[in-house]
Amino acid sequence: MSRIPATLAWLALLAALPFALACGGASYARGAATSSVSEGEGDSDGVYRMDGGEGSGPGGGVRYAQAAPAVATGTTSATPSPTATDARDDSGPLLIYTATLYMAVFEVRTTQAALIERARAAGGFLFQQTDDRLVLRVPAAGFEAFLDGVGELGDVLHREVQAQDVGEEFRDVAIRIRNLEVTRQRVEALLAQATTVEQALAVQRELERITTELEALRGRQRYLADRLALSTITFVFQPRPRELVEQPEIFALPFGWLEQLGLSTLLEVR
């Protein structure tokens, strides 16, 4: 009978973990508008908070000063693309740029080939291509310069450019990843201390839940880092007809009544 209270105590401890994580997320949401987190700063337990604890920056929140939107990972990290690790101050707005251009060109295929070559020269790549549509990914640093040079290849009928600020979400995901990594280490320590099968199974279920949530957050972070590093440009083409040059009248009938008979029409038949 002595094992029952111990098992209940373990279950109560595991049940409190999600609530603690939720409180940490709510605390971050309150300070996200005016605060940021500094790389390597945190409480003594390793959990990064935004509630003005020890080590906080001005205004009661910790500073966030990461050189680039690099993917924060633990032992099973995924390395982002080289363009995603360029020096970047993400303490302010982080903008994802997208553009859609409608163009009239003489030769659609020729224009598409020229645009693909320009994208590759700028460090980008072809994402999608159809008969009348082209989607390119180009480095965000050269986004405006790439758009400025498009007019040399055809007539730009309409252009749409959008910028989406994901700075708050990117910082939120980074903090949640750090907190979950610390929590997972604690749960792994509890698993090593389990003395009964019931305790081990309960801890294992909680560990699987944390790992699943952690991998989902890492995937979202990689997606945001990729969108920040590479802008998406969509081209929609329509063929532009070539102007017909009028041919001079080489042969003229000498008499008007021959014109009335329709002989000029017969002479134009080829």
Contact present, 119 and 235 (Cβ < 8 Å): no
Q: pLDDT grade, residue 142 (50/70/90)?
A: very high
pLDDT at 242: 66
Q: Mention every residue, 6+ apart, whose C-beta is less than 8 A from residue 225.
A: 69, 70, 71, 80, 84, 170
pLDDT at 266: 54
CA 6 – CA 218 distance, rounded (Å) = 35
How large is the average pLDDT for residues 131-153? 95
Q: Which residue has the higher pLDDT, 61 or 263?
A: 263
For residues 37-58, one letter each, b for 16 or more C-beta atoms within 10 angstroms of the residue's C-beta and e for the rest, the string is bbeeebeeeebbbbbbbeebbe
CB atoms within 10 A of CB 33: 8
The proportion of the chain whose per-residue pLDDT surpasses 70, expressed as a percent, equals 56
157: three-class secondary structure by DSSP? strand
Q: Which residue has the higher pLDDT, 66 or 145?
A: 145
CA 190 – CA 203 distance, rounded (Å) = 7
Q: Which residue has the higher pLDDT, 260 or 229?
A: 229
Q: Assess whether pLDDT exceeds 80 at residue 204.
A: yes
